[in-house]
Amino acid sequence: MRTEPGTGRRPGRFALGLAVIALPLALALLGPVFAGDSGPRAASFTPGDGHWLGTDFVGRDVWHQVLHGGRPVVLTALAATALAYLVALPAGLASALTHRRWLEELLMRPQDVLLAVPSLLLILMVASVLSPGGVGLALLIALVNVPDAARIVRAAAAETAARPAVEALRMQGETWWRVAVGYVGRCLLRTLAADAGTRLTGALYLVSTAAFLGVGVAPDAADWAVMVDRNRAGLLVQPWAVVVPALLIVALTMGTNLLFDAALDDGRRSTGTRAWRLRNTTTRTARRRAEGGAHP
């Protein structure tokens, strides 16, 4: 008896990703709710002495700072990723589906200028002129992600737009919105899901790096990346002030990648299962018809 492909679930990767990301995500989203009062300050870089993870460079409780430091990282990265797709999706779809060459050039050529400048360098250049806060940092990170995301959307949409089904929809008089979103957009979901995982991980890296360099946050802000930067001077005396926020950032990025990879893998197996069932159904139908023709 033949085994149906794709039915054997492999939950290991998904469970591992969930286990890795659960703690940093819970601390980032719920930490400020349960943080409570920070209490009086103590001596700098003091391990123990009533503080679970010791104190930081100005004598604040490290555990209290950890509870408050994840939300800015997560929310800024999520906002930057969403804003990048908010611009990249319509630009990429319009560029792929238009028959006007000048419109395609107008949409895509300015983005080549952004691609020529490294992302972090562009953020630092803007930060040297302006002083972006959390919102400004999210906008900057979204800006540097738009060209890559738009090109991926355009490439995937152009391949889908070349299918006969799109031409048939146009000949039926379907609107541009119906063709772009109703058909082409649906076909891009798997590609966008794969890119979203990479894009969100990159945004987390840029947010953390920018905060580490003092862009978009105050020098003494409760932020995991700022904690790593400001407390590294006492690494040998009080390592928890650096190690704990650094590990939380690493776990957040690794867990995000593992979860997206597991979701995509499940999607591929589901598609394979549907194709296998369709082939079997077609084969059985053809066999019954042949047997019916042979034995009237």
Please give the domain boundaries of the chain with CATH numbers for all domains.
Answer: 11-292 (1.10.3720.10)
DSSP state of 254: H
pLDDT score for 268 = 52
Tens digits of pLDDT across the chain (296 residues): 444 444 444 567 778 888 889 999 999 999 888 887 777 788 888 887 777 888 888 888 899 999 999 999 999 999 999 999 999 988 888 888 777 888 878 888 888 888 888 888 888 888 888 888 888 899 999 999 999 999 998 888 888 877 787 778 777 777 777 777 777 878 888 888 878 888 888 899 899 888 888 888 888 888 898 888 888 888 888 899 999 999 999 999 888 888 887 777 654 554 444 444 444 554 555 455 455 554 44
Which residues does 53 contact at the CB level (< 8 Å), separation at least 6?
61, 62, 63, 66, 240, 241, 244
Rounded to an integer, what distance in angstroms lies between the CA atom of residue 251 and that of residue 245? 10
Nearest partner of 85 among 73, 93, 74, judged by Cα: 93
Contact 137, 214 (CB under 8 A): no
Torsion of CA 52, 28, 246, 20, to 10 degrees: 100
pLDDT score for 4 = 43
pLDDT score for 39 = 74
